[in-house]
Amino acid sequence: MKQKLTLIFLLFFIFNYAQDKVVVEYSYKNSFDISIVKDEHLLNLYKNSNEIITYYTLFIDKNEAVFEDVQRVNNSQEMEKPAISGPLGKTYLNLETREYIYEADYNGKYIIKDLLNIVEWKIERERGTHLGYETRKATYKNDYLEYEAWFVPSLSLKFGPNGYGELPGLIVKFTHYFNNKNGRHHRTFIADKISIEPQLKILKPTKGKVVSQKEFNKIVEEQNKKFEEIKNNKVETKID
């Protein structure tokens, strides 16, 4: 009897330990409103972007997680067309230390270190199901944007796609609504698969020059100016 109780306790411990080590596969899609867009270039950009689906994986180990893009393209997607896709690179998150580390490759490797943003979620009354799990709805809204998240209370992992989280459960669907002069648009992450990986280990991104978000934004701005100057010089040379 004692051996049976020990075995039951051990199995219970292993199951609960393994539940902290989870891999979530997401798909991402833009939905740009094209009903009032008049600029032909922007219209084509929005149309192409609405056809693209990109994929991501979220690796979770208790209070740490890594979110990264997956190089996978549908056969129907023509990547040579100009389009707006989802975020690229690798993001490391730590709920205990509040660390946010982004590994970027922008004309060189960079490690951007910051602190996690705090989102003041409002948990709504609506409930649903996703991948067989019961879900609840949470929202956030300010003057510029709106978030809608569906999370799984039975999976008490406070993570979600692209750094969003800190709800009482894993986020399995996340939509970011935003407005501009061309209409109301949204972008959505949807979990396609959730699996338990008992051997999972999280590693912080370490390859690259360490900079702050402000410093990285300045680097991007300077590089964009250089690219624009090169582009303009080529045009002037052709005219001459």
**Which pLDDT tens digit goes with each residue over 146-205?**
999 999 999 999 999 999 999 999 999 999 998 888 888 999 999 999 999 999 999 888
Residue 240 has pLDDT above 90, yes or no: no
- At residue 128, the pLDDT reads 98
- At residue 17, the pLDDT reads 45
Which residues make Cβ contacts (< 8 Å) with residue 19, sequence separation at least 6?
155, 196
Distance (Å, rounded) from C-alpha 81 to C-alpha 97? 41
Which of 112, 81, 145, 119 lies closest to 212, judged by CA? Answer: 112
Classified as helix, coil or strand, 134 is strand
- At residue 80, the pLDDT reads 57
Distance (Å, rounded) from C-alpha 221 to C-alpha 37? 27
**Which pLDDT tens digit goes with each residue over 87-133?**
788 999 999 999 999 998 877 889 999 889 889 999 999 999 999 99
2-207 carries CATH number 3.90.930: no
pLDDT bin (cut points 50, 70, 90) of residue 58 is very high
Domains of the chain by residue range:
2-207
Of 8-17, 40-49, 79-88, which one has max mean pLDDT? Answer: 40-49
Distance (Å, rounded) from C-alpha 162 to C-alpha 85? 13
